[in-house]
Amino acid sequence: MPRKPKKAEIPHEEELQPNAHILGAGEVVEQFITDTLETNYMPYAMSVIMSRAIPEIDGFKPSHRKLLYTMYKMGLLNGGTIKSANIVGRTMQLNPHGDATIYETMVRLSRGNEALLYPYVLSKGNFGKAYSRNMQYAASRYTEAKLEPIAAELFADIDKDTVDFVDNYDNTMKEPTLFPVTFPSVLVNANTGIAVGMASSICSFNLKEICDATVGLIKNNDFDINEAVKAPDFIGGGQIVYDETQMREIFRTGRGSFKVRAKYAYDKPNNCIDITEIPPTTTAEAIIEKIIEKVKGGTLREIADVRDETDKKGLKITIDLKRGTDADKLMKKLFKSTPLEDAFACNFNVLIAGMPRVLGVRDLLLEWIAFRSECVRRRVYFDLSKAKDRLHLLEGLQKILLDIDKAIRIIRSTEEEAEVVPNLMIGFGIDKIQAEYVAEIKLRHLNREYILKRTKDIEDLRTSIADMEDILSSKARIKKIIVGELETVVEKYNKPRRSEIVYAAAEEDETPEDDTPDYPVHLFFSKEGYFKKITPQSLRMSGEQKFKDGDSLLLTMEATNNTELLFFTDRCQVYKAKAADFDDTKASVLGDYVPSKLHMDAGETAIYMAVTTDYKGYMLFFFENGKLAKVDLSAYETKTNRKKLIKAYCDKFPLAAIRQIREDCELVVQSTAGRILLLNTGAVSPKTTKDTQGVAVMTLKKGHRLASVREFVAGEFQKPARYRTRSLPAAGALLSAEDSGEQLTL
């Protein structure tokens, strides 16, 4: 196929006459999908990565930078707060993406929202809460804001050419490409973003710890970061489950995850648990919903009530306990089964010189040191240029000191204004810039006192210039300046850690005790999906089993209360439960309807129940086309407490029968043609893939299908060898004359 796109013929050219003046209007052009992706999608993807979702070395995304710079130019570092709507409107001069997104950016940066460890926006009014999805922020016309004092560190010397400036989207203003921030803000505040094909997730760290680590790295390139920074720190507090190996790997590579758990206190008089700090990855509502789900599912029977008591004092989730409940044991269960303990996934993806790079803490700090060194160097160079210009003017003014009367005579004797500067240049041997400066001096300033005051700083300027030139030539002095700035920042804005570090190695080694009582039970499962659990004592005293009209018993077996149950459905899914999740009942009741009890999908029905305690054995799935899928029962075992597994068996063929076996055995397989095959399951290899298509075990003629499967009973056939086969698949055999009579009685 040629690479050059071909123009298709236009079937109705007369319809395109109104647009005839538009070049190519109405034409259908064939284009390769790769060309479309390259010309249309790639620029969008690059824009999202470079200009929207990934933070840069100063710790900000473009949306953050545009908002904060606008607030800085509005003079909001000092004075009182102003309406947020005014700030949002002014920010639209730099950010054309709409007022709603700008205000959302401001909300996240604010103190009131409690999303950042060191917020940059001082808020007044309702800015919502990051830990609650129901506590939404008020509209921008109701709230007020200004910059926090720490925001001054973002703009230090920004007007001294420390960073580059670019035009805004309509070329009417200038905006900085980066902030010359005086501390490593990229690691001090949390930042997340999802781009195209990549994402960024940076956790927050304590300001003092990060600054100490930076100082240590500046003084010694081999400094161990872990000596200064133990673990991240979150505004919401909580407890960080510390694993040194795991944390060192995150610090080294910038990737990995660690667990954060809620902080709680047991209120003994009221017999309740008060949760006051939660992980940053969840919300109070999500936690409460999960606890309620577990209570309804019967896995948390110790809880009497759970409610949100958050008020102006802060977050508070209260869990009322039943009498005799051990609060610490219950919290261990809650940590394992609810978002009260959650993992924070780290992906320290940062734009470095326009290129996205995933860096560890050490490498990020080294990049920030290089960035800040350049900012300091540019600031010193700017001050040096200004000082040299000032010195040059003062040196010209000093020459006037030699003869003020001569300067006055030259100016008075010059007939044309344009000749004043050249005459001064000739008269005193100064250049044009110096002469212009002298010529602009007011008449009242042409006295010795004024000139002496202006020229006495010449020596100080020369000393300062020599000092700045020395700084520019010395990397050590630049680093010393950065260290001094970091120490000042720590002194001004240091706050104690909020997140507590806990060592849970001992707890993980403990085997959690199962408080569920274990005792013998009889399990009954009907064809319509009803389940009953009856104790032996109750069964002995019961009469006939009761079923719904048209329903009948499918499976019954003896087990214990802690037995695990796997309910296979007609939609190739399996729902996991424990016998303890169901209440003890009697033979005279219908029992629990499994689809409702386990919250199955609408219209979904349970068709088989498997029972296990150790996940040993096999599941056999017979399909109508004669295939058999033999799956290790261990394939359904999960380390987490997942209650629903999809693709429990193959959905490509109609299912004929399901059976659970502990070990290989012989089964009687029968087709609609009346043929019988005596199948040893050991002839079929087991698979660990749940939805395997299986292997053919019975060949079927057109119009026939596999009909039923049952266990083989010794003595069932006069000559069992007639129905056995040496190889699979096999057609099986029709019943012999001596077996047909017996078969009819079965």
What is the per-residue pLDDT for 510? 52
| Catalytic option among 142, 169, 503, 519 | 142
Q: Which two tokens stand for residue 406?
A: 């001569």
Given a contact cutoff of 8 angstroms between Cβ atoms, the answer to whether 100 and 88 are in contact is no
DSSP 3-state helix, strand, coil percentages of the chain (rounded to 5)? 35, 20, 40
142 is catalytic: yes
Q: Hey, what domains does the chain have and what are their CATH numbers?
A: 60-180 (3.90.199.10), 263-339 (3.30.1360.40), 368-493 (1.10.268.10)
- Nearest partner of 233 among 255, 253, 210, judged by Cα: 210
Average pLDDT over residues 283-307: 90
pLDDT at 270 over 60: yes
Predicted pLDDT at 473: 94
Q: Do 231 and 247 form a contact (C-beta atoms < 8 A)? A: yes
- Contact between 236 and 275 under an 8 Å Cβ cutoff? The reply is no
CB 733 within 8 A of CB 671: no
Token pair of 95 as six digits: 């950010």
Structural contact between residues 100 and 111, judged by C-beta atoms closer than 8 angstroms: no
In order of 274, 291, 323, 532, 640, the CA distances from 296 in angstroms are 21, 9, 19, 18, 19
CB 687 within 8 A of CB 636: no
Q: What is the dihedral of CA 293, 297, 300, 306, to 10 degrees?
A: 30
pLDDT value at position 331? 93
- pLDDT tens for 474-523 read 999 999 999 999 999 999 999 999 999 998 654 554 545 555 677 899 99
Extract the runs of DSSP E, i.e. beta strands, from 6-83.
82-83
pLDDT (0 to 100) of residue 509: 47
- Is the pLDDT assigned to residue 743 strictly greater than 70? no
Distance CA 164, CA 180 (A): 10
Question: In this predicted structure, what is the pLDDT of residue 484?
Answer: 96
How many whole angstroms separate alpha carbon 495 and alpha carbon 119? 12
Both tokens of 575, joined, read 């729902």
List pLDDT tens digits, range 688-731.
Answer: 899 999 999 999 999 999 999 999 988 888 888 888 888 899 99
Q: What is the pLDDT of residues 650-669, one digit of tens each?
A: 999 999 999 999 999 999 99
pLDDT in tens, 113-169: 999 999 999 999 999 999 999 999 999 999 999 999 999 999 999 999 999 999 999
pLDDT at res. 516: 65
Cα separation, 522 vs 309, whole angstroms:
44
pLDDT exceeds 70 at position 16: no
b/e for 474-506, b at 16 or more Cβ within 10 A?
eeeebbebbbebbeebbeebeeebebeeeebee
Counts for the chain of helices (H) and strands (E), in that order = 22, 32
Section 545-554 average pLDDT:
89
C-beta of residue 180 within 8 angstroms of C-beta of residue 156: yes
* For residues 198-202, average pLDDT: 94
